[in-house]
Amino acid sequence: MRMVDLIQKKRDGLELTDEEIHFIIDGYTKDIIPDYQMSAWMMAVCFQGLNKRETASLTLEMMHSGDIIDLSAIQGIKVDKHSTGGVGDKTSLVLGPIVAACGVPVAKMSGRGLGHTGGTLDKLESIPGLNIMISEEAFVKQVNDCQLAIIGQSAHLDPADKKMYALRDVTGTVSCIPLIASSIMSKKLAAGSDAILLDVKYGDGAFMKTIEDAKVLARTMIEIGESLGKDTRATISNMSQPLGNAIGNSLEVKEAIETLNGNGPQDLLELCLQAGSHMLVQAKKTDSELTARQMLEEAITSKKALHVLCAMVKAQGGDDEYIKHPGMFQKAKEVIAIRAEHDGYVKQLEALSLGLVSMKLGGGRQTTNDKIDHSVGLVLNKKIGDFVKRDDVLVYVHTNTGLSEELKNEILGAYHFTSDFVTKPILIDEILS
Ligand code: URA
């Protein structure tokens, strides 16, 4: 077989066999197929697509390119959760503890942020001492002991995806549904859970810009999961504005702690309760989503979920006093208020622009080697549907490097106003299973 023939075959819109897909992924993982041929093939996939069988075959090949995590020593049905990424998305830090507090083991491997989207690992590392790289053995033991572990992906998990993702990032081939679906699902399947809850986001701050594309992506991933016998469901959620109010690492951890204390923003809480209800049903804790929701609410009011987070932080070497007393988190040198220049209702809030401002303040990486400043970011005081009077504070900027006129204008430019009443956007459009 020759790679050039397979590139031409896909370029011409023909279907590839399982053997041909194996040849591509195996050859690329072993450095036999060079980057330039792989990027040409992935670009052909962007234009011609892959059918259901090809997408499932690609996912399986990627999944088997490295280690498969064995979670069989963990008692109970393990449910994993994955978000396709967005601005202010600290869902895992709330959802993990509330679901674990209801007796469902959560063994989660998370990622780092790149560009305007934050990553759970970077957020967790704002807790002093917390170690996200622990052995598979310690991971399994921790989940058995305290029901929750959130760690970094092992270097040997899905090496095909690591190489392909890095190449896609620099060849304009990220936004391609079969490539995104196989990238996400190959990692989730290799990570060994019994069931998967996907949070597929759409809108300005997400990879999928429209709800239609988000649904196609969700359906594609559900079909892959179901074809391997895993109960897979997806929330389709709106990322036309940031989730919650905080953007930036320790600011988001603090907001997650507030939510576990019963004082979090409504949109974040609602997403966690809806997604969590499905996770409890998937784990067979109950067959009613309503009962599941009540169990999750009780995990918050009783502070059980907060205790689970403390136990996880301690088990991973972190200082759990920070969870009990969030005022201990290192603060940025300055907090600058950005005030409205007009009266009106907020009708649009560009999540992407605000995510980029937080990154430029040092809260995210422009390149993979950049060091993160955990204390900086934004706290939104006004969101879509809020009425604003001239001089009201829109955003508090937490910064260690002042605020340039350019960044200030980017924040102001992210807000769009109207004099007409604006209803708050619906957060979850649908749950697919
Ligand atoms: N997240 C992933 O893990 N892979 C993609 O391709 C896109 C988002």
- Distance between CA atoms of 309 and 97, rounded to whole angstroms? 6
Integer angstrom CA distances of residue 137 from 5, 65, 79, 190, 260: 44, 21, 19, 16, 28
Whole-number pLDDT of residue 430: 86
Q: Which residue has the tokens 């074809």?
A: 227
Q: Give per-residue pLDDT as tens, 6-23.
A: 999 999 999 999 999 999
Percent of the chain with pLDDT over 90: 86
- CATH number 3.90.1170.30 given to 330-418: yes
Take atom 7 of ligand 1 and give the residue whose Cα is closest.
180
* Residue 383 and residue 349 in contact, taking contact as beta carbons nearer than 8 Å: yes
Whole-number pLDDT of residue 86: 85
Catalytic residue among 10, 78, 81, 82: 82
Least confident of 143-147, 156-160, 275-279, 426-430: 426-430
Whole-number pLDDT of residue 207: 84
C-alpha 412 – ligand 1 centre gap (Å): 30
3-state DSSP assignment of residue 314? helix
Whole-number pLDDT of residue 206: 86
Give φ, ψ of 70 to 5 degrees.
-100, 110
How does the average pLDDT of the chain come out, rounded? Answer: 94
Please report how many Cα atoms fall inside a 13 Å half-sphere around the Cα of residue 167, on the Cβ side. 21
Mean pLDDT of 288-313: 98
Architecture category of domain 79-324 in CATH = 3-Layer(aba) Sandwich (3.40)
Whole-number pLDDT of residue 368: 67
Q: Give per-residue pLDDT as tens, 128-186.
A: 999 999 999 999 999 999 999 999 988 899 999 999 988 998 888 988 999 999 999 99
- Active-site annotation holds for 161: yes
Q: What is the position in ligand 1's atom list of the atom closest to the CA of 184? A: 3
- Active-site annotation holds for 374: no
Whole-number pLDDT of residue 115: 66
- 41 Cα distance to chain centroid: 27
Whole-number pLDDT of residue 155: 82
Catalytic residue among 183, 250, 277, 375: 183
Task: State yes or no: pLDDT of 116 exceeds 80.
Answer: no
- For the CA atoms of 187, 190, 191, 195, the dihedral, rounded to the nearest 10 degrees, stands at 90
Mean pLDDT of 283-298: 97
C-alpha 302 – ligand 1 centre gap (Å): 36
C-alpha 183 – ligand 1 centre gap (Å): 6
C-alpha 84 – ligand 1 centre gap (Å): 7
Kindly report, as residue ranges, where domains of CATH 3.90.1170.30 are found in the chain.
330-418
- Distance between CA atoms of 258 and 261, rounded to whole angstroms? 5
Whole-number pLDDT of residue 174: 86
Please, which pLDDT band fits residue 204 given cuts at 50, 70 and 90? Answer: confident
Whole-number pLDDT of residue 114: 63
The secondary element (H helix, E strand) that includes residue 235 is strand 231-238
Q: What is the position in ligand 1's atom list of the atom closest to the CA of 168? A: 6
Whole-number pLDDT of residue 22: 98
Catalytic residue among 122, 158, 161, 194: 161
Q: What is the position in ligand 1's atom list of the atom closest to the CA of 111? A: 3
Kindly report, as residue ranges, where domains of CATH 3.40.1030.10 are found in the chain.
79-324
Task: State yes or no: pLDDT of 271 exceeds 70.
Answer: yes
Least confident of 114-123, 325-334, 421-430: 114-123
Take atom 6 of ligand 1 and give the residue whose Cα is closest.
180
- Distance between CA atoms of 422 and 384, rounded to whole angstroms? 7
Please, which pLDDT band fits residue 34 given cuts at 50, 70 and 90? Answer: very high
- Active-site annotation holds for 390: no
Q: Which CATH number fits domain 3-49: 1.20.970.10, 1.10.600.10, 1.10.287.3510, 1.25.40.420?
A: 1.20.970.10
- Active-site annotation holds for 339: no
Q: What is the position in ligand 1's atom list of the atom closest to the CA of 187? A: 3
Please report how many Cα atoms fall inside a 13 Å half-sphere around the Cα of residue 309, on the Cβ side. 29
Pocket of ligand 1 (CB under 6 A): 84-85, 165, 179-180, 183-184, 207
Whole-number pLDDT of residue 119: 86
Q: What is the position in ligand 1's atom list of the atom closest to the CA of 165? A: 6
Catalytic residue among 90, 112, 187, 201: 187
Q: Give per-residue pLDDT as tens, 314-346.
A: 999 999 999 999 999 999 999 999 999 989 999
Q: Give per-residue pLDDT as tens, 366-382.
A: 776 778 999 999 999 99
- Active-site annotation holds for 53: no
C-alpha 279 – ligand 1 centre gap (Å): 21
Q: Give per-residue pLDDT as tens, 54-105.
A: 999 999 999 999 999 999 999 999 999 999 888 999 999 999 999 999 999 9
Take atom 8 of ligand 1 and give the residue whose Cα is closest.
84
- Distance between CA atoms of 357 and 349, rounded to whole angstroms? 13
Give φ, ψ of 233 to 5 degrees.
-130, 165
